[in-house]
Homo-oligomer: A and B are copies of this chain.
Amino acid sequence: MTKNVGILAMDIYFPPTCVQQEALEVHDGASKGKYTIGLGQDCMAFCSEVEDVISMSLTVVTSLLEKYGIDPKQIGRLEVGSETVIDKSKSIKTFLMQIFEECGNNDIEGVDSSNACYGGTAALFNCVNWVESSSWDGRYGLVVCTDSAVYAEGPARPTGGAAAIAMLVGPDAPIAFESKLRGSHMSHAYDFYKPNLASEYPVVDGKLSQTCYLMALDSCYKLLCSKYEKLEGKQFSIADADYFVFHSPYNKLVQKSFARLVFNDVVRNASSVDEAGKQKLEPFSSLSGDESYQNRDLEKASQQVAKPLYDAKVQPSTLLPKQVGNMYTASLYAAFVSVLHNKHSELSGKRVVMFSYGSGLTATMFSFQLRDGQHPFSLSNIATVMDVAGKLKARHEFPPEKFVEILKLMEHRYGAKDFVTSKDCSLLPPGTHYLTEVDSMYRRFYSKKAGSCTCENGSLANGH
């Protein structure tokens, strides 16, 4: 039967338009370091008026198919995770069908999965389960995470971002699921939600959201540990995984989260923390759950103890979330992409623990086992194809004033009809899809910038 089902190939797209967090601090009159150290963020990507979650997903799917040489007819399931609602009924998946219909392939299961930043994980699980089910027809699954995170003026605005990620799913994958190693925590909460339907901006209770995230993390970690222990007959600890990858609304929360796992290991008396570290954290082990989430001394001490482990097991995942910002459903997978980018040649045989969180709330901790894989589905080729360094280098920094101006225009256009965009795609890479018009019936029209990417064994040639 099917073995090692997981991710065979990946690609990522983020808008080339971005704003530096340091410049945004000055513009917003925030204290120096509030965004860069306080939030831990470096830069933030955003969609200009010609991009949206549909154009980004068209771009990344086309690119993945081309770069890995996948015939669109080979796709049997396509699922999208997103929390950026452009239409409340018509799924983003149906927009992507344009790519496949051209080749006469309409027989593709799957729709959109939605709950805040968790939809991509739900879509990925669904695709993997399909490959393992009796209804699998031997073709590939394809998962797309696409989001544009924008916030009203105020303290949450620097926690925006935008990106789309595509993942090809099938058996014999270099990024294989350890399907029994999984713990979920789902609950009813109002930490971050979007009840104002006419606005693109969410309602956010920042403090509650952070507590919900950390509580869900604790709960998922405990479940994963207990499942591992039942399966393997021994205790699980941080030492049993090589990398920990977190959903990253902003980097500071990732730092806190990993420190929380270290604290968990101390409370569980696991072997991952040395004696000195244990001594520092044991005094806090009598705190109740609620107290422990609010205790600043514990936060500080656990981050200190966690630091060397953080540098080794977490830091390699932080590049894109810090540079691009919160990408909602794509955020966790962009963090994983960062690990592939930084460590691709030394990942074979490693275990990566992933923590997916979506407000509202839904959370799962799960595990990947990595193997070299065979070309074009090898870890090193995936890293080459994604070309993270090249994409970061090719970006265009906008001054904060221009960023704010664009967000104002987008506010005005959210849910609107009967307008044309500037159609200015001069900043976009060749092969990028962009929005040209929304007609009087709200129908959306997109074009593709000439000089599309063509595939030559996984390397990317930009023709014109």
Cα–Cα distance between A129 and B88 once the two chains are bound (Å): 26
| Min CB–CB distance A54 → chain B (angstroms) | 10
Residues on B with beta carbons closer than 8 Å to the beta carbon of A95: 188
Residues on B with beta carbons closer than 8 Å to the beta carbon of A188: 94-95, 97-98, 101
Cα–Cα distance between A180 and B138 once the two chains are bound (Å): 12
| Min CB–CB distance A369 → chain B (angstroms) | 13
Query: A114's contact among B5, B114, B186, by CB below 8 Å, is which?
Result: B114
Cα–Cα distance between A122 and B135 once the two chains are bound (Å): 13
Residues on B with beta carbons closer than 8 Å to the beta carbon of A364: 109
Q: Decide if B441 touches A203 in the complex (CB within 8 Å).
A: yes
Per-residue B-contact encoding for A174-188, CB less than 8 Å = 1, 0 else: 000101101111111
Residues on B with beta carbons closer than 8 Å to the beta carbon of A89: 83, 114-116, 192-194, 202, 359-360
Interface residues of A in 80-134 (CB under 8 A from B): 83, 85-91, 93-95, 97-98, 100-101, 106-116, 118-119, 122, 125-126, 128-130, 132-134
Q: Decide if A196 touches B107 in the complex (CB within 8 Å).
A: no
Cα–Cα distance between A441 and B118 once the two chains are bound (Å): 23
Q: Decide if B135 touches A194 in the complex (CB within 8 Å).
A: no
Per-residue B-contact encoding for A229-252, CB less than 8 Å = 1, 0 else: 000000000000000000000000
Q: With an 8 A cutoff between CB atoms, is A283 at the interface?
A: no
Interface residues of A in 189-234 (CB under 8 A from B): 189-190, 192-198, 202-203, 219, 223
| Min CB–CB distance A331 → chain B (angstroms) | 14
| Min CB–CB distance A77 → chain B (angstroms) | 9
Residues on B with beta carbons closer than 8 Å to the beta carbon of A180: 134-135
Q: Decide if B135 touches A189 in the complex (CB within 8 Å).
A: no
Query: A87's contact among B130, B195, B441, by CB below 8 Å, is which?
Result: B195
Question: Which residue in chain B gives the minimum CB-CB distance to A81?
Answer: B111
Report if A106-B185 is in contact (Cβ < 8 Å); known contacts: A94-B115, A132-B134: yes
Query: A93's contact among B101, B115, B195, B417, by CB below 8 Å, is which?
Result: B115
Question: Which residue in chain B gives the minimum CB-CB distance to A117?
Answer: B89
| Min CB–CB distance A161 → chain B (angstroms) | 15
- The CB with the most chain B CB atoms within 10 A, among A78, A135, A202, is that of A135
Number of interface residues of A (CB under 8 A): 75
Query: A111's contact among B115, B129, B185, B441, by CB below 8 Å, is which?
Result: B115
| Min CB–CB distance A350 → chain B (angstroms) | 21
Query: A115's contact among B83, B112, B116, B129, by CB below 8 Å, is which?
Result: B112
Q: Decide if B196 touches A97 in the complex (CB within 8 Å).
A: no
Cα–Cα distance between A289 and B101 once the two chains are bound (Å): 17
Interface residues of A in 138-195 (CB under 8 A from B): 177, 179-180, 182-190, 192-195
Interface residues of A in 1-24 (CB under 8 A from B): 5
Q: With an 8 A cutoff between CB atoms, is A443 at the interface?
A: yes
Q: Decide if B135 touches A133 in the complex (CB within 8 Å).
A: no
Q: Decide if A85 touches B185 in the complex (CB within 8 Å).
A: no
Residues on B with beta carbons closer than 8 Å to the beta carbon of A219: 106
Report if A107-B190 is in contact (Cβ < 8 Å); known contacts: A197-B85, A361-B94, A417-B195: no
Q: With an 8 A cutoff between CB atoms, is A430 at the interface?
A: no
Q: With an 8 A cutoff between CB atoms, is A41 at the interface?
A: no
Q: With an 8 A cutoff between CB atoms, is A419 at the interface?
A: no
A sample of 18 cross-chain residue pairs with beta-carbon separation below 8 angstroms, ordered by A number, consists of A86-B195, A89-B192, A89-B193, A90-B194, A91-B360, A93-B115, A95-B188, A106-B184, A112-B114, A126-B129, A129-B132, A129-B135, A132-B132, A132-B135, A134-B179, A135-B180, A197-B198, A197-B415
Q: Could you list 15 further interchain pairs (A-B, Cβ under 8 angstroms) beyond the known A91-B116, A125-B130, A195-B442?
A: A88-B194, A90-B190, A90-B193, A90-B360, A93-B362, A107-B184, A107-B186, A111-B115, A111-B122, A111-B358, A114-B114, A134-B180, A135-B182, A198-B415, A203-B441
